[in-house]
Structure 1
Amino acid sequence: MKYPAPLKSGSRVAITAFSSGVSEPYHARLDQCLEDLRSQGLEVVEGKCLRSDKNYVSAPLEQRASELTSFLVDDSIDAIMPPWGGEIAMDLLSVLDFTQIAKAKPKWLTGFSDISTLTSVITSQCNWATAHCANLMQLHSLQQDSLTANTLAYLGSRETFTQYSSEKYQVRGESYAENPDAGLNLTESTHWKSLGRDQENTEFSGRLLGGCLDTLCHLLGSDYLDLKAFQERYSQDGIILFLENAELSPTALIRALLGLKYRGIFNHVNGLLIGRNPSDEHHGQSLTYQQALSYALNGLEVPVIYDADIGHLPPNLTLINGALANVRLRGDEGSILQNLT
């Protein structure tokens, strides 16, 4: 696995929105987050595909692909931080030249949600470590929770680091348009859980790979994200597949997970780490998230930890795609150790 150089003062960080862009009402928040990067000694390189949003994208496909490629192959760039996710980053996959990208110096690609469409594929295709973590627009200097506040510190690590489950998480947050300085509204108690027989004592290890289930359910098993080939490449280590649900209803979640099961995806993993599920209320379904997981994953012979700090109910762990990791659940408290050597 090729790990990008740790971020430090003087590192150059490119900002481009290869999925959804940032419309004018959110510019104040964006400007503050960029200034916060500069205050930590990072040099910000702002792309042209950033400060507009039309039909769920910042710019036409050709522009987004060209700008992203230019940053990925530029050896003076140390990291690429999109502002946030979006909907259709998948359209980039058929036009990016992964052979060309793989020849360049590895650099951090960071974020979650639709960003994981690219982070997971870059790790699989180019053998670069990438980061599934808080998006740039959450990295405000006033944000105090340890998982979010330490995101850049984790990307500055050279060897190993350990993260622990949060104390509380957010269900509903403020609009950045209405309050550019909004932090996370942490109101609900965090409890990691297990679907295994020993529901209070679960542990597994392997190399991390994953992201947003809404998009990865279409990619896992394809040529872009061949989990079997990745597992064979690191056969001595095995894989931890991590997934988080953005918008799938309980029944859609069942279909997505069953589809992965039928394609044999879970045959190549040592364990599943699944994020918290957004509220079921708007789906109008009586089936709960836990019931949906239990239904779809019934009979699975690998351990499953869910309600972890991953996804659209922040805060988010910083999970390094490609890194060796050990995940542990004791009671309802979780930890994950990652090795970047």
Structure 2
Amino acid sequence: MIQYPVLAADAVVGVTAPSSGVPEELHDLLKTASMRLRRQGHEVIIQETAWTQESVRSAPAAKRAEEFHELMKNDKVGLILPPWGGELLIEALEFINFADLKNKWVLGYSDTSTLLLAITLQTGIATAHGTNLIDLRGEYTDLTTGMWKKVLSTQRGSFILQTSSSHYQKQWKHDEPSPCVFHLTELTEWKTVSGKPAVMKGRLLGGCVDTIRHLIGTPYGDVKSFRNTYLPGKPLLWYMENCELSPTDLRRSLVQMKYAGWFENCGGVLFGRSAVNASVDGYSAENVYRELAEELGVPVVYDIDCGHQPPQITFINGAWAEAEVDPAGKGTILQHFI
């Protein structure tokens, strides 16, 4: 049975950096984001690694895992929220005692999704792919991102509906700060490979394809055991976002996932928007999506609200979900905490 944490209104938020920390010149971002949470009634505990960064890491792998466990063992903490992702979280997995993890939320995206997926596959504890801490530093938050609290507050046995955003951010403009952090200038349109409306169902798993692909063949990426334990005979519904992979590298990664059995009994695949979808010798991301849909025989939806072109829907690894896309390119994600 999947375990679902429940976020209390006054939950204590623990901040640690299992991948990248915040360099000194950007400490104001961390301070501002923490202040926003405190003003909303949350105590915020910031661990040492959140303030440090050297050679693409916040700290040595064992130190990062140690801090994560400290927050896990702290009964006051209801949510662990890294400042952002990074590059080498995978190094810390061997130092994490998954059998000792408590039923509390871990939220984030990018490289943080490496940890999220590993936790859910190893333990059956639901994890949350959505906003990171730094992106909560604005004076206000857009409606899509702002759903994270309602999603994490959902009780077991209940459900939560999220809808596609009206607009998204095409590129980051750090030299033009705005009150809501994101510059939501582009019209959002969820697209299907078929060009027709789509409906898909399954238990959610996913994350940043750049990093979660490296769990294949390791103890931390045992999708088959998870499937047999938590949804025998039921489909998986995959969501993925691409940070840096070219279409050819994305294709290689998806083929490897298929060979590893990750797409067995798959109900569909959802892909987030990406700024790196330039074609390679005429081979585009749309070609990748179309080929995957043909090979798996399932609906494939892309340009959804997930990843490095915000805002982001909060996806719960382990939740039973129903995803729909209508003829106008509007989408919904209904997640059941069962």
Is TM > 0.5 for Structure 1 vs Structure 2? yes
Asked if 1:124 corresponds to 2:148, the answer is no
Q: 1:317 aligns with which of 280, 294, 313?
A: 313
Task: Quote the residue 1:186 is aligned against.
Answer: 184
Q: What amino acid sits opposite 1:170 in the alignment?
A: Q
CA distance in 1, matches of 2:186, 2:48: 38
Cα displacement string for residues 214-261 of structure 1 (whole angstroms, at most 9, x for unaligned residues): 111121453212111222121254211111111001111111111112
Question: How far off its partner does 1:319 sit?
Answer: 0.5
2:334 and 2:61 map into 1 onto residues whose CA distance is: 38
- Write the deviation string for residues 85-130 of structure 1: whole angstroms up to 9, x where unpaired: 00010001112111122xx3x1110000000000111111111111
The one of 267, 271, 276 equivalent to 2:268 is: 271
Specify the SS of the correspondent of 2:49. coil
| Consecutive unaligned residues in structure 2, runs of 5 or more | none
Q: Residue type of the partner of 1:175?
A: H
Preserved CA contact (<8 Å) 1:309 1:316: yes
Contact (CA 8 Å) 2:234, 2:265: kept in 1 or not? no
Aligned pairs for 1:18-97 (under 5 A) are: 18-97=18-97
The code of the aligned residue for 2:81 comes to M
Change (3 A) 1:302 1:222: farther
Residue 200 (1) aligns with residue 177 (2):
no
Q: What is the CA-CA distance between 1:5 and the residue it aligns to?
A: 2.1
Deviation at 1:180, TM superposition (A): 8.4
Structure-1 separation of matches of 2:56 and 2:309: 21
Tell me the CA shift for residue 298 of structure 1: 3.4
Counterparts of 1:284 and 1:229 in 2: how far apart (Å)? 36
- Find the counterpart in structure 2 of residue 99 from structure 1: 99
1:157 — aligned with what? 154
8 Å CA contact retained: 2:20, 2:56 = yes
In 2, the alpha carbon distance for the partners of 1:144 and 1:59 equals 30
Aligned residue pairs total 333
Q: How does 1:246-285 map to 2 (within 5 A)?
A: 246-281=243-278
Q: What 5-or-longer segments of structure 1 have no aligned partner?
A: none
- TM-aligned CA distance change 1:100 to 1:144, over 3 Å: closer
Q: How do 1:161-172 residues align onto structure 2 when only pairs under 5 Å count?
A: 161-172=160-171
Change over 3 Å in CA distance of 1:220–1:7 after alignment to 2:
farther
Instruction: Calculate the TM-score normalised by the size of structure 2.
Output: 0.93
Matches within 5 A, 1:221-240: 222-233=218-229, 234-235=231-232, 237-240=234-237
Q: Distance in 2 between matches of 1:180 and 1:19?
A: 27
Conservation of the 8 A alpha-carbon contact between 1:56 and 1:87 = yes
Which digits, 9 at most, give the CA deviation of each residue in 1:21-65, with x for residues without a partner?
A: 001222112111101111111111111111121111111112111
Supply the distance in 2 between the matched residues of 1:108 and 1:212 (Cα, whole angstroms).
18
Is this contact kept in 1: 2:84–2:108, CA < 8 A?
A: yes
What's the C-alpha RMSD, in Å, of the aligned pairs?
1.9
In percent, how many aligned pairs have the same letter? 37
Match of 1:299 in 2: 295
Tell me how far apart the structure 1 counterparts of residues 269 and 180 of structure 2 sit (CA, whole Å). 32
Contact 1:325/1:339 (<8 A) preserved: yes
User: What is the distance in 1 between the residues matched to 2:9 and 2:142?
Assistant: 21
The amino acid across from 1:258 in the alignment is V
DSSP 3-state at the match of 1:273: strand
What is the alpha-carbon distance in structure 1 between the residues aligned to residue 270 and residue 217 of structure 2? Answer: 18
Distance in 2, matches of 1:22 and 1:323, equals: 31
Q: Structure 1 residue 218 and structure 2 residue 214: aligned?
A: yes
Matched residue type, 1:142: E
Distance 1:46 1:180 in 2: 25
Local SS of the residue matching 1:327? strand
SS of 1:186's partner is coil
